[in-house]
Amino acid sequence: MEESDLITSDWCPGCGDFGILRSEESVLKELGIPLQNIVIVSGIGCSGKTSQFVNSSISGIHTLHGRALPFATGIKVANPNLEVVVNVGDGDGLGIGAGHFVNAGRRNLDMTVLLHDNGVYGLTKGQAAPTLKLKEQVKSMPRPNINGEINPIMLALASGYTFVARGYAYDVPGTKELLKAAIKHKGSALIDILQPCPTYNDINTKEWYEKRIYKMTDLDPVVNTPGESYTKIANAIVRAGEWEEKIPLGLFYKNETVTTYEERISANIPNYISYSPAVQQIERNGVPATLIEKLLSSRRVITD
Amino acid sequence: MINMVRITWVIGGPQGTGVDTSANLFGDAIARSGYYIFGNREYYSNIKGRHSYFTLTVSDQPTRSISDDIDILATFEAETVFQHFRQVKGVLIYDKNMEGMKLSNMAFLENEIKKDVREVLSKHGYEESVKGVLDYLKNAGIPVIAVDYDAQLTKIMNEVNLSSTVVGRAKNVIAVSVSFGLLGLDKKFLLSAVSSMFKKEEYQKINSRAVEYGISLVQSQYGLKELKIDGTRLRVDGNYMSAMGKILGGLRLQTYYPITPASDESDYIEANQMLEMENENQDLRKAGAVVLQMEDEIAAVNTAISATLTGARASTATSGPGFSLMAEGIGWAGMNEAPVVVTYYMRGGPSTGLPTRSGQTDLKFAINVGHGEFPRIIIASGDHLEVFNDSFMALNLAERYQTPVIHLIEKTLANSYSIIDESTFNYNPLRISRGKLTKGSDNYKRFEFSDDGISPRAFLGSCKMSYTGDEHNQFGHISEEVNNRFNMYEKRMKKLETADKEIPERERINVYGNPDADTMILTWGSSKLPVLDALDMIKNDGIDIGMLQIKMFSPFPRNTVRKLLENKQSIIAVESSYMAQGAQVVTENTRIEPTHYILKWNGRMITRDEIYKSVRRIKSGATKRVVLNGGV
């Protein structure tokens, strides 16, 4: 090879992105599916580089700021047999991409979204991102934050994600476990991964987090019948409100009674999964394979 | 040709009262009688109540345009009378019970129109009411036909024993039937059109009565005879033709966000998404085209772009405001050599502009969309058949040159319909060509350097690959290194040169009339239609004239266009814009400027008569620039 097909990650030393990528790659490799059938899609920002830094046969699509979810949707819908994992930052996914974040929840496509949640726009030098609290001021901000914060867990629950969890970037085993469950889950899964930014976030540091985080053991997050969903969402929202003293990690909500987007499309197109848009034979030696005679006949002028 | 039949029929009424349905019914009956039609639809951005109308040109020859004057104006309420009476040269059909309606009581009529109508009526001392309009017309020798719709509907109601709300809807059918009676065609065509359109037995009954009553009210004035149809004919509109081109071309994923006048295309594909396919395997003879309604146009374009990476043919359809949002995504597709097709239905801008009216004001925006430089192919269709062929071809070009293709269609083409001979719609020679493909390998280079700039494309799922909107190396990994940037940039741009070499210039234009004439009309898009219909009239006045239509603006057919335009005495640019953007692109590429302009930017379709009169004025030396403002 005249040049390398590998690329060296260029995140800051101590960045939580290393831990997320390590967890992600190792879980994906353990899935037992051919690696070329896995696609990592990411947005723009430090988290966005995840798709570029994958050092295996997994494909990576580095998209546009805020647009990772529409890109992931196109790939997954066109070829539902691909395994799609999305990496977005909190600025990327909840700021510029908030509309897509909400609407992806409505679809419930079978894919996993990892939210790199560090409260700052790192790559543009530390401005406030949507999860940074009101009045907080991390070190490169000229003044305290005058915008309120988004709670990603609550937003995901309200948007329709059917698997909602929270992890911590430096806890590689814990993140791996959540990720495995998220990928196995049938439907859209969101993992909010709390992540210190050692360069720009001097408030939510490793020490700050590690004093507060704990794993939930007393929440029953699984919806067994559709009727339970609102109660379980309500319970999850109460726990998602914990922050200043204690920060819960683990699974907040899981609901497999909701149909996936793939199932909804299959209701209209019975062979959608086996004969998806990506694999259809649309021509035979160049001759279009689609027969349009019936569509034409409805427009034919009728003569008596 | 000059003695051919050409009758203009207009029906109008409040949106949501079945104006479209009645125009379709009338058109269907006319088509069954062996005549050709071109129908143009005008409507407000409104659901119910505002004035909408259909203009149908009825002809014994294939027709593509509308006229200034109205031969038959069919109305069933007062606003349409006020809106259109000044255009009537033939006959007005109106509701007898509306005679007392006053201009001042027209809630939806815009103040500017009221003022104009008031001036016309008061100047001649007529009262400002429907009655005043009738007097005005009678004085001008234009016959008016009073129809007592309520009395007719009451008769039908008593016969069928159904409520007035159900029967009331037959009002338009009476207006249609009176019109049909004036043409003199056999009522059997209208009756059979009624039974095709209305499936419920009670509606068939009501509307058949309406036909009988309506026709019996008048004598034939136009004496049209049934014409024999050789072969078969199709009724086509722009949205349908674009959808059909895509379906035949193997489109399997379409995305959209609702917008006028683009959504109808996506709706059609979705309604017909289970497609029949030729295949030895029984299980694969049915296959689905997925249509995704996204949360916005940003999502729509990016979802379509990413779908193409899997090997699916994918596209999106939008209009100006949506295309504005797509700019960044189209740049990503250019950078990542993704074969996405964007069907761009132009309407009146800027901003929300005229959402339901037409225009040709976005050509340069499409040509220059996105920051940075990247190749893009820009196609502009001029008629319904071209919409189909271009829509099919766009998918091929996108994959051959691995770059975004933008297909421009105006609202005029999208919403108008025409009757065409099926023999002109020959899709059998069309071939799908998927460009350079590979199965991929362990060290697959998605962006491998090559002489023509095109790298073999592998689909996601076949091997490892990497994409990024950042500048990248041959593997698709971010690289800012100087030599890589130099070469990768050139590789991308080279694809447009390759396309320019490979696509014959002659296929990127159309020439009509006499290409050697001293006078050449230079036009593009739907402005071609009225020009084409006016050419014979102009020639009959002894003016030698040719017409050049640009169909592809990027890569631009510069050599052929230069040859066709150089040393002309007059070059008349005809466009629906203020700036004549198409002519500007021609000048940029050939250094030849038009000598004259015929321009219209009021959102309404250019008429055949406007072209005829404008060319006459220009040839008489009266003006360099004719600005049109016809239409309602």
The 10s digit of each residue's pLDDT in A113-139 is: 999 999 999 999 999 999 999 999 999
Which of B292, B431, B433 has the CB atom closest to A77's CB atom? B292
* pLDDT at site A1: 38
Helices (H), B140-237: 149-160, 164-168, 171-183, 187-197, 201-216
Mean pLDDT of B49-61: 96
Of A55-59, A230-234, B591-595, the least confident: A55-59
Name every chain B residue with its beta carbon within 8 A of the beta carbon of A277. Answer: 252-253, 288-290, 307, 310, 312-314
Do B168 and B153 contact (CB within 8 A), yes or no? yes
- The continuous run of DSSP H or E covering B412 comes out as helix B411-415
Mean pLDDT of B578-603: 98
Structure tokens at B587: 């000048």
Supply the CATH number for residue B529's domain. 3.40.50.920
pLDDT in tens, A247-263: 999 999 999 999 999 99
Which of B234, B288, B463 has the CB atom closest to A299's CB atom? B234
Is the N-terminal amide bond of B375 cis, ω within 30° of 0?
no
Which of B232, B252, B299 has the CB atom closest to A100's CB atom? B299
Mean pLDDT of B157-170: 88
pTM above 0.95, yes or no: yes
Within this chain, do residues B399 and B315 fall inside the same structural domain, yes or no? Answer: yes
| B302 part of a folded domain | yes
| B118 part of a folded domain | yes
Q: Does the interface predicted TM-score (ipTM) exceed 0.90?
A: yes
- Residue numbers of the domain that contains B610: 506-628
The number of C-beta contacts closer than 8 angstroms across A and B is 264
Name every chain A residue with its beta carbon within 8 A of the beta carbon of B332. Answer: 63-64
From the list A24, A73, A32, the residue with the least C-alpha distance to A51 is: A24
> Which of these three, B477, B503, B529, is where a domain ends?
B503
* pLDDT at site B1: 46
β strands within B35-176, DSSP E: 36-42, 51-59, 70-74, 88-95, 144-147
* pLDDT at site A4: 53
Question: Closest Cα of chain B to A304: distance in Å?
Answer: 8
Within this chain, do residues B372 and B488 fall inside the same structural domain, yes or no? Answer: no
Question: Closest Cα of chain B to A179: distance in Å?
Answer: 21
> Which of these three, B482, B503, B524, is where a domain ends?
B503
Mean pLDDT of A265-272: 98
Q: Is the pLDDT of residue B164 over 90?
A: no
Which residues, in sequence order, are CB contacts of B563 under 8 Å at separation 6+? none
Mean pLDDT of A203-207: 97
- The continuous run of DSSP H or E covering B487 comes out as helix B482-502
Mean pLDDT of B404-414: 98
Within this chain, do residues B394 and B472 fall inside the same structural domain, yes or no? Answer: no
What total of structural domains would you count in chain B?
4
Q: Is the pLDDT of residue A3 over 50?
A: no
* pLDDT at site B161: 86
CA gyration radius, chain B: 27
Structure tokens at A151: 């709670």
Question: Closest Cα of chain B to A153: distance in Å?
Answer: 21
Within this chain, do residues B260 and B321 fall inside the same structural domain, yes or no? Answer: yes
Structure tokens at A73: 């949707």
Name every chain B residue with its beta carbon within 8 A of the beta carbon of A278. Answer: 252, 307, 310-312, 459-461
Asked if A271 is an interface residue toward chain B (Cβ–Cβ < 8 A), one would say yes
Pairing status of strand A83-89 against strand A38-42: parallel
Question: Closest Cα of chain B to A225: distance in Å?
Answer: 29
Tell me the pLDDT band of B162, cut-offs 50, 70 and 90.
confident
pLDDT in tens, B421-441: 999 999 999 999 999 999 999
End-to-end CA distance of chain B: 29
Single-letter amino acid, residue A194: L
| B597 part of a folded domain | yes
d(CA B135, CA B147): 16
Q: Is the pLDDT of residue B316 over 60?
A: yes
Within this chain, do residues B43 and B181 fall inside the same structural domain, yes or no? Answer: yes
Within this chain, do residues B470 and B420 fall inside the same structural domain, yes or no? Answer: no
In whole numbers, what is the pLDDT of chain B averaged over residues? 96
Asked if B283 is an interface residue toward chain A (Cβ–Cβ < 8 A), one would say yes
Name every chain B residue with its beta carbon within 8 A of the beta carbon of A288. Answer: 248-250, 427, 430-432
Structure tokens at B71: 């031969």
Answer CATH for A16-268 from 3.40.250.10, 3.90.850.10, 3.40.50.970, 3.40.50.720: 3.40.50.970
Within this chain, do residues B127 and B186 fall inside the same structural domain, yes or no? Answer: yes
A92: DSSP letter: I
Question: Closest Cα of chain A to B487: distance in Å?
Answer: 15
Within this chain, do residues B305 and B350 fall inside the same structural domain, yes or no? Answer: yes
Asked if A298 is an interface residue toward chain B (Cβ–Cβ < 8 A), one would say no
From the list A240, A215, A244, the residue with the least C-alpha distance to A154 is: A240
d(CA B409, CA B261): 10
Tell me the pLDDT band of A5, cut-offs 50, 70 and 90.
low
Which of A4, A72, A269 has the CB atom closest to B288's CB atom? A269
Which sign does the torsion angle of CA A288, A290, A291, A295 carry?
Answer: negative
In whole numbers, what is the pLDDT of chain A averaged over residues? 96
A-facing residues of B in 299-338 (CB < 8 A) are 299-300, 302-307, 309-314, 328-329, 332
| Percent of chain B's residues with pLDDT above 90 | 97
How far, CA to CA in Å, does B181 sit from each of B22, B192, B227, B465? Answer: 15, 15, 17, 68
Asked if A55 is an interface residue toward chain B (Cβ–Cβ < 8 A), one would say no
Convert A185-206 to b/e letters by CB count within 10 Å (16 or more is b).
bbbbbbbbbbbbbbbbbbebee
Within this chain, do residues B585 and B461 fall inside the same structural domain, yes or no? Answer: no
Within this chain, do residues B525 and B587 fall inside the same structural domain, yes or no? Answer: yes
Q: A99 and B295: CB-CB below 8 Å?
A: yes
Single-letter amino acid, residue B498: T
Q: A301 and B419: CB-CB below 8 Å?
A: yes
- The continuous run of DSSP H or E covering B570 comes out as strand B570-575
Q: Could you tell me which residues are beta bridge partners of residue A127?
A: A121
Q: B192 and A304: CB-CB below 8 Å?
A: yes
Asked if A269 is an interface residue toward chain B (Cβ–Cβ < 8 A), one would say yes
Q: How many CA atoms, within 13 angstroms, populate the side-chain half-sphere of residue B576?
A: 31
pLDDT in tens, A225-248: 999 999 999 999 999 999 999 999
pLDDT in tens, A165-197: 999 999 999 999 999 999 999 999 999 999 999
Q: A282 and B296: CB-CB below 8 Å?
A: no
A-facing residues of B in 608-627 (CB < 8 A) are none
* pLDDT at site A7: 78
* pLDDT at site B165: 86
CA gyration radius, chain A: 21
